[in-house]
Amino acid sequence: MKKRILVTGGAGFVGSHLCRRLLNEGHEIICLDSFFTGSKDNIVDMMDHPYFELVRHDVQQPILLEVDEIYNLACPASPPYYQFDPVATTRTSVLGAIHMLDIARKCKAKILQASTSEVYGDPEVHPQPESYRGSVSTTGIRACYDEGKRCAETLFFDYQRQYGVEIKVIRIFNTYGPFMNPHDGRVVSNFIVQALKGEDITMYGDGTQTRSFQYIDDLIDGMIRLMDSRDGFTGPVNVGNPGEFTMLELAQKVIELTGSKSEIKFFPLPQDDPLQRQPDITLAKKELGWEPHVNLEEGLKKTIEYFKSVI
Ligand code: NAD
Ligand code: UDP
């Protein structure tokens, strides 16, 4: 059945993939974006489609749109960008959640929140199951993002309990792939762009900190499965690839796959940078029948091809 679907942050990295997939499935898409970190280049291929509509809007302000489903992605996700105007980051997460939940309440629309593994902070439990409540600084430089996302989750569950809004909350772990902004500042895009340009690889800290990297196609599959999951299943549910790598391993893999002569240069580790991160995906397997299919090497190859074409 054709649905009218609102994707906030639809011109960003994840949002543009989601819009494309939903459009290809035959739905009508309203892509809402302020273009803070997103770009028209990410969605230009969809602009002429009769069922694709672009709305330039900042979710810090209210708006009324009539839709059947909402994917709420609007929020900068890269540390340099979310720390650029941290007050706006918290406002985007919190006011953005309220404004989108108000639409869902009025239209009786189903709404999915793009939450994050950052709600676990610098975790003391490893790997992280959804039941782990996290170890997050309320005062550090990452708090605008982490606490904003935590408060958004709270709002989602309160709108469900208080107003009966149908909610779905996904906790996304580090995701990479084509359409990442080459200047985005996240580790995968930085390392690939540096390797392709033959520049030094910027390693923060000693490179022993870990992340678990998921390829974009696996994430999009998990998001849509969650939106379509059984009534009453709200999550939060982790969606990520349990393959865990140190940043040194990532740098070496990128250098190998690009055949680059770049050297690794070490810089101080930013404040509150989590030391380790790996999703426990037991719940996603059970409730969504979901698991990742693209391993790091395969995903990096596709991402490297993309960056070769844009830089
Ligand atoms: P991105 O920065 O590429 O995309 C975010 C989009 O939101 C951009 O198009 C940006 O212009 C838009 N935006 C930002 N503030 C806005 C505002 N106030 N009003 C309207 N639009 C606004 O980031 P992404 O990687 O595509 O992330 C998308 C979502 O997924 C974010 O909510 C992020 O927190 C979440 N997430 C992503 C990852 C990841 O690894 N990519 C991990 C965890 C969670
Ligand atoms: N990082 C790095 N060099 C870079 C960018 C990031 O060593 O050029 C490190 C960063 O300190 C962190 C990891 O890579 O330990 C992942 O960083 P990213 O910003 O991609 O995601 P997040 O920290 O939000 O998981």
Over the stretch 206-217, which tens digit does the pLDDT of each residue have? 999 999 999 999
Of these residues, 145, 159, 176, 215, which one is catalytic?
A: 145
Helix, strand, or coil (residue 277): coil
**Percent of the residues in the chain that have a pLDDT greater than 90, as a whole number:** 99
Q: Which of 14, 92, 147 to mutate to test the pocket of ligand 1 (most atoms within 8 A of CB)?
A: 14
Q: Is the distance from the beta carbon of residue 121 to the nearest atom of ligand 2 less than 6 Å? A: no
pLDDT of 149 reads 98
> In one letter, which amino acid is 278?
Q
Residue in the structure block whose two tokens are 């940043």: 247
- Mean pLDDT for the stretch of residues 129-136: 98
Is 157 within the bounds of a domain? Answer: yes
Q: Is the distance from the beta carbon of residue 251 to the nearest atom of ligand 2 less than 6 Å? A: no
Residue 82 annotated in active site: no
Residue in the structure block whose two tokens are 């009453």: 232
Of the listed ligands, the closest to the CA of 174 is: 1
Report how far residue 311's alpha carbon sits from residue 306's, in angstroms, rounded to the nearest whole number: 9
Is 211 within the bounds of a domain? Answer: no
Residues linked to residue 8 through DSSP beta bridges, in sequence order = 32, 72
- Mean pLDDT for the stretch of residues 286-311: 97
Residue in the structure block whose two tokens are 């740098």: 251
CA of 256 to the centre of ligand 2 (A): 19
Whether 311 has a pLDDT exceeding 90, the answer reads no
Of the listed ligands, the closest to the CA of 54 is: 1
In CATH, what number is assigned to the domain containing residue 9?
Answer: 3.40.50.720
- Mean pLDDT for the stretch of residues 6-16: 98
Task: Please provide the average confidence, as pLDDT, over all residues in the chain.
Answer: 98
Ligand 2 atom nearest 209 alpha carbon: 15
Residue in the structure block whose two tokens are 């999703």: 279
Q: Is the distance from the beta carbon of residue 119 to the nearest atom of ligand 2 less than 6 Å? A: no
Residue in the structure block whose two tokens are 């609007």: 74
Is 106 within the bounds of a domain? Answer: yes
Report how far residue 91's alpha carbon sits from residue 96's, in angstroms, rounded to the nearest whole number: 7
Quick one: pLDDT band at residue 26, thresholds 50, 70, 90?
A: very high
Helix, strand, or coil (residue 279): strand
Ligand 2 atom nearest 277 alpha carbon: 25
- Which residue's CA is the nearest one to ligand 2's atom 6? 187
The domain of 88 spans: 4-176+216-240+278-293
DSSP state letter for 135: B
CA of 261 to the centre of ligand 1 (A): 32
Q: Is the bond preceding residue 127 a cis peptide, omega within 30 degrees?
A: yes
Is 272 within the bounds of a domain? Answer: no
> In one letter, which amino acid is 144?
C
**How is 206-259 classified by DSSP, letter by letter?**
TS--EEE-EEHHHHHHHHHHHHTSPTT----EEE----EEEHHHHHHHHHHHHT
**Percent of the residues in the chain that have a pLDDT greater than 70, as a whole number:** 100
Which segments of the chain does DSSP mark as H helices, in order? 13-24, 79-82, 86-107, 143-163, 187-197, 216-227, 247-258, 282-288, 296-310
Domain count across the chain:
1
Over the stretch 209-244, which tens digit does the pLDDT of each residue have? 999 999 999 999 999 999 999 999 999 999 999 999
pLDDT of 168 reads 99
Residue in the structure block whose two tokens are 């694709």: 52
Of the listed ligands, the closest to the CA of 175 is: 1
Report how far residue 293's alpha carbon sits from residue 290's, in angstroms, rounded to the nearest whole number: 9
Quick one: pLDDT band at residue 176, thresholds 50, 70, 90?
A: very high
Q: Is the distance from the beta carbon of residue 211 to the nearest atom of ligand 2 less than 6 Å? A: yes
CA of 187 to the centre of ligand 2 (A): 5
- 0.85 cut: is pTM over it? yes
pLDDT of 214 reads 98
Report how far residue 270's alpha carbon sits from residue 175's, in angstroms, rounded to the nearest whole number: 20
Is 196 within the bounds of a domain? Answer: no
Over the stretch 82-97, which tens digit does the pLDDT of each residue have? 999 999 999 999 999 9
Whether 32 has a pLDDT exceeding 90, the answer reads yes
Is 303 within the bounds of a domain? Answer: no
